[in-house]
Amino acid sequence: MSQAISEGDGIAVIVRVDSVAAAQAAESQGAKVLAVSRAIDGIREATSLPLLWLDESAPREADAVAVRPGAEHEHALETVMDVRTEDELETALEEHDPEVFLLSPHRGDDHENALESVLELLPDVPAGKLAIADVDVMTRDETLTLERAGFDAVLVHPGDIAELVGHGAPDV
């Protein structure tokens, strides 16, 4: 998954999906990774994109799994550390030293505060680590703000993500 995020120009878009149709739509619009919270029959056959598992249950058919600091996680998947505070980030670095961080807003933050919350956490992510913003961006300008700040990817809900990506997927 981290390779998919880091290759190419610009910020990568990771799309939360809950069906094969949503996965195919996200891939055709330029998503680099798909995020799932439950098993989806046929998703591996429907898309070639890496899968990020977001649920606390045991991951199924995923390439990477998001875990919270202090949570038990014994698996062979790439670990994405899901943090919301500076203290959680520090704990994650001390205990796990992951390569990828999912910076999530505080629970209950509105859109504007959520964006500010993840932007404030970013400077604490060490150089060389990948940072994903868990913020539902609404416009290309918000996506570019995250990119300019130094985020490698943004996790969004499904919809018309081609605008967020800045272009459609290339014709193959």
Domain ranges within the chain, ordered by starting residue: 2-165
Alpha carbons 102 and 115: distance in angstroms, whole number: 13
Q: Where are the alpha helices (DSSP H) in the chain?
A: 2-6, 20-28, 43-46, 86-95, 111-121, 140-149, 162-165
For residue 166, the model assigns a pLDDT of: 66
Q: Tens place of pLDDT for every residue, the chain, 172 residues?
A: 999 999 878 899 999 999 999 999 999 999 999 999 999 999 999 999 999 999 888 887 899 999 998 877 777 889 999 999 999 999 999 988 899 999 998 766 666 688 889 999 999 999 999 999 999 888 889 999 999 999 999 999 887 787 777 654 444 3
CA angle (29 as vertex; 135, 56 as ends), nearest 5 = 45
Alpha carbons 52 and 54: distance in angstroms, whole number: 6
Beta strands in 32-128 (DSSP E): 33-36, 51-53, 64-67, 78-83, 100-103
Centre a 10 Å sphere on the Cβ of residue 94 and count the other Cβ atoms it contains: 9
Q: Which CATH superfamily is domain 2-165 in?
A: Aldolase class I (3.20.20.70)
